[in-house]
Structure 1
Amino acid sequence: MPIVQFAPFSSLIQPSFWHELTNLKIDVLRLSDEALPISGSYSTGKSVKDRETGQEIALGCNLSIGSESFDKGFKPSQGSIAVLGTLKNYNTIDEFKAADKTVLFNREAERIWEHTLKTRDTSLLTQFLLITFADLKKYKYYYWFAFPAFVSKPAWEIAEDGWKDASSEFSSDALISIHSHLRAHPAPLPFFLVRSDATGTTISPVEAYSTFFETTPSSSQTIAFVDPSANPANPGWPLRNLLAYLRVLYPNSTSSVRVLCWRDTDIQTTWKSRFGVVEISAAASETSSRPAAVGWEKNPQGKLGPRVADLAPMMDPERLANQAVDLNLKLMRWRILPSLDLEKISTTKCLLLGAGTLGCYVARTLMGWGVRTITFIDSSRVSFSNPVRQPLFEFEDCLNGGKPKAECAAARLKKIYPGINSSGHMLSIPMPGHPIPPASVEQTKADVQKLEALIADHDAVFLLMDSRESRWLPTVIGAAKGKIVINAALGFDTFLVMRHGTRATSTPPNGKANPRLGCYYCNDIVAPSDSLTDRTLDQMCTVTRPGLAPVAASTAVELLASLLQHPDGVHAAAPPPLQNADRGGQQGDNENEGVLGMVPHQLRGFLAQFRNMHIVGAAYDRCTGCSETVLKSYENDGFEMMLKAFNDQEFLPALTGLDKLYDEGEAALESVDWDEEDEADDF
């Protein structure tokens, strides 16, 4: 008699499975290569009709997995059979290639066999193994499936009449009854028993073999399984282990087995299911030792070897970018900083006041940290001197008078990464000491309102302008609204990067009162005034060493990242200056540190000596930028208060009491009795 030929499983992997594996690898598994449980499913065999010949063509005997395969409560679609599996993902292609496939395969086969003997449960008879390597930079996935199936010796043979239509053995009523019982069963049955007697046709799980057939003659006993094969001559792969199960547990009654290959999902006039009688020599060895197993899937070339899924060509480039841009950050969290909260950084909305050299470099570094909302404010246009120093502009942006810097920079960020939420606003920021003509008051008021709205809508504000007085208005608004304010300023070979302290009335979440840190104006007792009129060319341009701006910009962004990762956030205390001097770059020895290390107040960089100096500046109660006097005046009088500051250089000193300090200083100098004759004699 012919030997039974089984149709092997073919893997069918949905692209969503690879996307889910990517997320799992990056966010959960990281460097772990521990085996994971997954699930798959298969259904009855499918076939299609050839339009030219009219013949039925059997499709593959497919086992499918998708993104839902990782769910613990996996539920297959209606009519499908759930299959348990094991996933082992390797960290490198070399580890994947060098893995001992024989050991892995035999481990799974042994698990199936032991489970069968101990529990008589059939849930693991179609257990599968999947080994993978995910190349997350190129979106290539190397994988190899194994469907362990036990080898019968001698082999099973099919009776002389071979496989035939189930309708030749079962009446239509019997097949309808089987279909109804399967539908009514609480859980899909991959393997089941069929019994026909005077009362009709009934089914039961295979686990009930010893009792279900007690009073049924062998001619009415049928073993059935949901067959994923549509080949009329070859039953599907699950039958191999089902027969092995029957032989090892019931050797005395299973040398000849009536098999129903169930292939019908609906009641129909022409039934697709197949029936046959398979036999094995009664003298076959009756032993409980595990037989050999086979089941590694062949590749498309018909050879035993892994397959490759290349998703890059079929993926939306923007989606590829979305998954790839943060890869460096997530790898950083894998190996170095498991506690790094990337979401806190990515959701921080950043407002950049100034789209020049500092603004361009700050924006690029923010993108590198995963920030997804970046807004520019600038009042100027791109000039021919800009593109070589400001990396978000090109030569074409300078033509025809130049594009607005803020809008151009925002558009360029979207070209770099389409997933960024960037926008630009051409806006002139009013400044103290720069009087507002009566005809421009309404426009200035509108500009101030727009600036207030933008600062309110963002979490962090970067002051990157090229004058001292242009930083005053956003300093006041940022302090009043409790925003993170990061200041950066350039000299020829020096820079200042600092974070503004919190408002005096602000309370830290932990209730711990730290010394209040100053703002940009706390270090100076001179109120901001006009420094822009009558400037020479070298004063109008920021004359600085070319490498200084990227250093300062990166430092400003890293300061923000450190602040966001600190448990106290914007209220984080600054480390004492002397303690910073001899740290040697070590982290973790300062109670004020966060995940990324220290969070200094001010950093003054000196490129000539290639060194940074940490400075802590206390808040000043007469500060023209962040003192409670100024903030309450702004909150009470709004634009009217600002207009006085713009038009009258004496307003802010009078409001904060600096004018009295000036008077006291003058009085102290006048009270000194200078001996002019003695000074002359000294020379």
Structure 2
Amino acid sequence: MPIVQFAPLNSLVEPPFWHALTDFKIDVLRLDDTAVPVTASYSAGRSVKDRETGREISLGCNLSVNGDAYKEDLQLPPHSVPVTGIFKNFNTIEDFKAADKTVLFNSVADEIWKSIIEDRSTAQLSRFLLITFADLKKYKYYYWFAFPAFVAKPAWVIDDDWKAADEEFSEDALVAIQQDLHTNPRPFFLIRTSSGKLELAPVESYDTFFAEVPSEQRTIGFLDPSAAPSNPGWPLRNLLAYLRAVHPASTSKLRVICWRDTELPGEGHWRSRVGVLSQAAGASAEAHAKPGAVGWEKNVQGKLAPRMADLAPMMDPTRLADQAVDLNLKLMRWRILPALDLEKVARTRCLLLGAGTLGCYVARTLMGWGVRTITFVDSARVSFSNPVRQPLFEFEDCLGGGKPKAACAAERLKKIFPGINATGHSLNIPMPGHPIPPASLDQTRRDVETLEKLIDEHDAVFLLMDSRESRWLPTVIGAAKGKIVMNAALGFDTFLVMRHGPRASSSAPSGDTGTGSRRLGCYYCNDVVAPADSLTDRTLDQMCTVTRPGLAPIAAATAVELLVSLVQHPDGLHAPAPPPQSATEAVEGHATESVLGLVPHQLRGFLAQFRTLPVAGAAYDRCTGCSETVLRAYETQGFDMLVRAFGEPGFLESLTGLDKLSEEVEAAMENADWEQEDEDDF
């Protein structure tokens, strides 16, 4: 009699599994190479008919692994059964190659045998092993499956040959089996006929279920992933080992049905196969020690070696970039800062007012932090002096009068990373000290409305302009709308980076709005005069921001890092500034810290000394930018108040009381008793 040849299992790994492995490695496993459970599935084997020859061609004996393999609530395909396995990922290709695969394989085989002998359970009969190494930079995944199956000695043989199921069972019996398995899918089952009625039961109930059934009427069934006419699938091997070990006295000869019909056959034949299997003389009649096991999967060349899945050629480059750009950030989180909320950073919508040297470097650093929404506002065009200092522009952008800076910068960000949501707006920002001509009043109103709308749609506003007065209007709007406002200004070898404090009428979650009980100030809180025209009659050196070339990227990076630290702080916009004693030494666990460290109010950099000094400045109740008087006037009077601020000298001083302060100072100076020194004393 011919020896039964079993069809080995083939792994069928769906691409979503590798994408899930990428996230699982970075977000969960990190450097942990401990084995974790994973779930796969298989269903009845399928075949297709060759149109030319009419022959049935088997589609293979497959175990499917999809993107939900790591989840406990795995959604199985219809008519499938789950299979649990062990997944072990190695951190380097060298570890993957050097792993003791025999030890790993035998440990899984031992678990299967233990479940047979001690638990008398079939739940682990198809248990598998998967070892991997994921090259996340190149999207190459090295993997090797093992499906341990016990070797029967002597081998199983088949009486006669495999037959179609409808030759051994009636049509009604086969339909009954199919309906039962549709309702309750199971990998292994028993079949008997009692009082003319066909019944199914779990294999674990072998003794009771077959107690009154003659041996020739007992049938062992399993869901067969193979579609080969004469080769039952791999799961049958361990089912036979289970029966021989647990019920040795009555299982030397078995009738087996390989169930392959998930649907009614229609006009065709039932695809399920039935055969009578037996072990030749010499088989033990008692439970025996664990037999040897085989089951490493061969690669596509038919050799016992790992396989490799290269997803890069199959993927959309844009999607590849989308998954790869944040790799450094994810590595940062799982290696150094597990509490880092990268999703919160990515969701922060940033408005950059100014697309010059600071704007370009701020945008690049924001992209490095994973920010996905960046909007530029600028009224200038790219000039020939720009590309060497402003990394988002090229020589071609200067031709023909130059492209609009804002739109050009947004377009360049998309070329760098197509997944970025970048837009540019050519917009003039009205400024105090620059009266609005009557003919331009309507256009100015539209510009202000556009700016208000943009600030309302974003979470953080960067003031990156090259004049003092151009920062006033967005300072007022940002404070009124409760937005994060970041300010960066450059000198020759000095810079200022600061975050504006929240308005006085807002409340901090912690009850603290600044350093102690002080509210943090804005860019204008140290001024005793309103911003005025600083642009008219400028000389050439004053028209350009004359700075050391390395200063702008330092200031830009500092501004972005300050924003990210602020976003990570639990109080966000209301995060207090560090106390003076922590200016040079962080106080661990202090309320001013985020997971990235301190969140200072201002940073003043001195490049000549290579020094950065944290400073905290209190808000000024007569400030022309963020005082409640100015904000309420803006909210109640709207554009009319702004027009007066732009064109009416002394309006902001009168509104905030700075004019009275000036008068008081002058009066005090006049009333001061100045001592006159005699000329002879010299």
What is the TM-score of this pair, normalised by structure 2? 0.96
What CA distance in whole angstroms lies between the structure 2 residues aligned with 1:197 and 1:44?
A: 27
Q: Does residue 201 in structure 1 map to residue 198 in structure 2?
A: yes
Greater displacement, 274-283 / 146-155: 274-283
Q: Does residue 214 in structure 1 map to residue 211 in structure 2?
A: yes
Structure 1 counterpart of 2:264, from 263, 267, 272: 267
Map Cα deviations across residues 21-58 of structure 1 (whole Å, 9 max, x no partner): 21222222222222222211111111122233222221
What CA distance in whole angstroms lies between the structure 2 residues aligned with 1:470 and 1:681?
A: 51
Residue correspondence of structure 1 range 168-207 to structure 2 within 5 A? 168-184=167-183, 187-196=184-193, 199-207=196-204
Residue correspondence of structure 1 range 516-665 to structure 2 within 5 A? 516-581=519-584, 583=585, 588=588, 590-665=590-665
Greater displacement, 257-266 / 589-598: 589-598
What CA distance in whole angstroms lies between the structure 1 residues aligned with 2:13 and 2:158?
A: 33
Residue correspondence of structure 1 range 150-299 to structure 2 within 5 A? 150-159=150-159, 161-184=160-183, 187-196=184-193, 199-268=196-265, 269-285=268-284, 286-299=286-299
Secondary structure of the residue aligned to 1:68 is: coil
CA contact (8 A) 2:147 2:297 kept: yes
CA contact (8 A) 1:601 1:614 kept: yes
Shift in CA distance, 278/680, structure 1 to aligned 2, threshold 3 Å: farther
Map Cα deviations across residues 179-203 of structure 1 (whole Å, 9 max, x no partner): 233334xx21211222246614333
Residue correspondence of structure 1 range 353-372 to structure 2 within 5 A? 353-372=353-372
Secondary structure of the residue aligned to 2:593 is: coil
Report how far residue 17 of structure 1 moved: 1.1
CA contact (8 A) 1:515 1:573 kept: no
Shift in CA distance, 587/116, structure 1 to aligned 2, threshold 3 Å: farther
Secondary structure of the residue aligned to 2:521 is: coil
What CA distance in whole angstroms lies between the structure 2 residues aligned with 1:163 and 1:498?
A: 81
Report how far residue 467 of structure 1 moved: 0.4
Greater displacement, 635-644 / 662-671: 662-671
CA contact (8 A) 1:197 1:220 kept: no
Secondary structure of the residue aligned to 2:331 is: helix
What CA distance in whole angstroms lies between the structure 2 residues aligned with 1:435 and 1:178?
A: 89
Secondary structure of the residue aligned to 2:248 is: coil
Greater displacement, 28-37 / 169-178: 169-178
The count of residues paired between Structure 1 and Structure 2 equals 676
What CA distance in whole angstroms lies between the structure 1 residues aligned with 2:632 and 2:171?
A: 89
What CA distance in whole angstroms lies between the structure 1 residues aligned with 2:264 and 2:622?
A: 88
What CA distance in whole angstroms lies between the structure 1 residues aligned with 2:456 and 2:355?
A: 20
Shift in CA distance, 578/588, structure 1 to aligned 2, threshold 3 Å: closer
CA contact (8 A) 2:246 2:287 kept: no
What CA distance in whole angstroms lies between the structure 2 residues aligned with 1:111 and 1:385?
A: 71
Q: Does residue 52 in structure 1 map to residue 55 in structure 2?
A: no
Secondary structure of the residue aligned to 2:655 is: helix
CA contact (8 A) 2:154 2:282 kept: no
Report how far residue 287 of structure 1 moved: 3.4
User: What residue identity is the alignment partner of 1:93?
Assistant: I
Greater displacement, 29-38 / 194-203: 194-203
CA contact (8 A) 1:126 1:241 kept: yes
What CA distance in whole angstroms lies between the structure 1 residues aligned with 2:31 and 2:122?
A: 34
Report how far residue 680 of structure 1 moved: 9.3
Secondary structure of the residue aligned to 1:70 is: coil
Greater displacement, 330-339 / 217-226: 217-226
Secondary structure of the residue aligned to 2:249 is: coil
Report how far residue 666 of structure 1 moved: 2.3
Report how far residue 677 of structure 1 moved: 7.4
Q: Does residue 136 in structure 1 map to residue 139 in structure 2?
A: no
Report how far residue 106 of structure 1 moved: 1.1
What CA distance in whole angstroms lies between the structure 2 residues aligned with 1:204 and 1:663?
A: 99
Greater displacement, 108-117 / 259-268: 259-268
Percent of matched pairs sharing the same residue = 69
What CA distance in whole angstroms lies between the structure 2 residues aligned with 1:405 and 1:145?
A: 55
Secondary structure of the residue aligned to 2:401 is: coil
- Unpaired runs of 5+ in structure 2? none
CA contact (8 A) 2:154 2:283 kept: yes
What CA distance in whole angstroms lies between the structure 2 residues aligned with 1:320 and 1:661?
A: 61
What CA distance in whole angstroms lies between the structure 2 residues aligned with 1:537 and 1:673?
A: 45
Secondary structure of the residue aligned to 2:192 is: strand
Q: Does residue 515 in structure 1 map to residue 514 in structure 2?
A: no
Report how far residue 673 of structure 1 moved: 5.7
User: What residue identity is the alignment partner of 1:168?
Assistant: E
What CA distance in whole angstroms lies between the structure 1 residues aligned with 2:593 and 2:679?
A: 53
CA contact (8 A) 2:143 2:306 kept: yes
Report how far residue 609 of structure 1 moved: 0.8
What CA distance in whole angstroms lies between the structure 2 residues aligned with 1:179 and 1:679?
A: 121
CA contact (8 A) 2:157 2:280 kept: no
Map Cα deviations across residues 109-138 of structure 1 (whole Å, 9 max, x no partner): 111111122232211111111111111111
- Unpaired runs of 5+ in structure 1? none
What CA distance in whole angstroms lies between the structure 1 residues aligned with 2:498 and 2:679?
A: 43
What CA distance in whole angstroms lies between the structure 1 residues aligned with 2:141 and 2:193?
A: 49
Map Cα deviations across residues 208-258 of structure 1 (whole Å, 9 max, x no partner): 211222222222222121111111121110110011011001111111111
User: What residue identity is the alignment partner of 1:417?
Assistant: F
Secondary structure of the residue aligned to 2:492 is: coil
Secondary structure of the residue aligned to 1:322 is: helix
User: What residue identity is the alignment partner of 1:393?
Assistant: F
User: What residue identity is the alignment partner of 2:178?
Assistant: H
Report how far residue 309 of structure 1 moved: 0.6
User: What residue identity is the alignment partner of 2:191?
Assistant: V
Residue correspondence of structure 1 range 395-410 to structure 2 within 5 A? 395-410=395-410
Secondary structure of the residue aligned to 2:583 is: helix
Q: Does residue 480 in structure 1 map to residue 480 in structure 2?
A: yes
CA contact (8 A) 1:480 1:503 kept: yes
What CA distance in whole angstroms lies between the structure 2 residues aligned with 1:39 and 1:591?
A: 44
User: What residue identity is the alignment partner of 1:114?
Assistant: K
User: What residue identity is the alignment partner of 1:271?
Assistant: W
Greater displacement, 267-276 / 639-648: 267-276
Aligned-pair Cα RMSD in Å? 1.7
User: What residue identity is the alignment partner of 2:310?
Assistant: D
User: What residue identity is the alignment partner of 2:176?
Assistant: S
User: What residue identity is the alignment partner of 2:174?
Assistant: L
Report how far residue 383 of structure 1 moved: 0.6
Greater displacement, 283-292 / 449-458: 283-292
Which residue of the partner structure matches residue 375 of structure 1? 375
Report how far residue 574 of structure 1 moved: 1.1
Report how far residue 578 of structure 1 moved: 4.5
What is the TM-score of this pair, normalised by structure 1? 0.96
What CA distance in whole angstroms lies between the structure 2 residues aligned with 1:486 and 1:273?
A: 71
Residue correspondence of structure 1 range 274-353 to structure 2 within 5 A? 274-285=273-284, 286-353=286-353
Report how far residue 305 of structure 1 moved: 1.2
